[in-house]
Amino acid sequence: MLTERRNHARELVQGLELGRWDALVVMSGDGLMYEVVNGLMERPDWETAIRKPLCSLPAGSGNALAASLNHYAGYEQVTNEDLLTNCTLLLCRRLLEPMNLLSLQTASGLRLFSVLSLSWGFIADVDLESEKFRRLGELRFTLGTFLRLAALRVYRGRLAYLPAGRGVPGVPASPAVDRQDQQGPTDAHLVPLEEPVPAHWTVVPEQDFVLVLALLHSHLGSEMFAAPMGRSAAGTMHLFYVRAGVSRATLLRLFLAMEKGRHLEQACPYLVYAPVVAFRLEPKDGKGVFAADGELLVSEAVQGQVHADYIWMVSGCVEPPPGQKPRRGSPPEKPL
């Protein structure tokens, strides 16, 4: 099926008879997989639908999800046709692996699901403002980076997060999950956005940020090895933020080093990294934009929680590592 407009894939999967298919193969960029997953989660049978195996074949600009799957399979970092070939080989091998899913809640009441990332500030600006250069392919991001560096912005906001491995004293007294008008897994670590975060969370004082990035996978683009510290454990994600005060030259060096995953070796005091389970980000004055898997969201308070091993992706493994069995049961009844 060829998509013709924004959210077309979302509409298509809502009406599909999923039992006819072994898998849903998405040949595009990261945004189309975002549409497919959210379409599956909006179906009445979402608990069954979201277990349908998914495959990412890169044909977009960023191709971060495909690049991450390529990395997990042990292939060297490649782009364009080579990346497509590697991902097609994974599909031909018909092996599945469970992947984390990020549940997002916004102040306006939206419930969304991300398979890759949520960004605010510099990265979101480059992602969305470079759309007009889409015909350049991956070069659009390079051009967008230089243009945004020339007019570097900072955004004021408040960030809080639940670090991975921190003892949780129990489910919050009023979890932001028991809404009759929404469906999906329970976000047990989150409280309503109008309430303070739980006391065991880490709170970053209100300040100016250059960027904030919550990332589920290793790559932010086919040549952006953003998380070289290793694959996130089940139920966790990578959280990066860059504080205001960083120079344009330093920020450029960070992004150039990211191609080989060496940006953390720069020992930049403005760059902070933490593995987390959940987070909350509250922009001040509604400035800036959010990008969820490269798709535009309005700037408003947002919070998110990772759900461990929630979707099945075509990958390099038939079984998850020992001790990381998917919490939603065995693979789909009809093997890929």
Residue among 22, 30, 125, 293 flagged as catalytic:
30
With CA atoms as reference, report the closest residue to 115 among 331, 311, 274, 326.
311
Token pair 């491995």: residue = 165
Whole-angstrom Cα distance, residue 13 to residue 312? 16
Whole-angstrom Cα distance, residue 15 to residue 201? 40
Burial 164-183 (b: 16+ CB within 10 A, else e): beeeeeeebeeebbeeeeee
With CA atoms as reference, report the closest residue to 187 among 297, 98, 303.
303
Q: Are 250 and 82 in contact (CB under 8 A)?
A: no
181 annotated active-site: no
The DSSP element (H or E) to which 243 belongs, if any, is strand 237-243
Give catalytic residue positions. 30
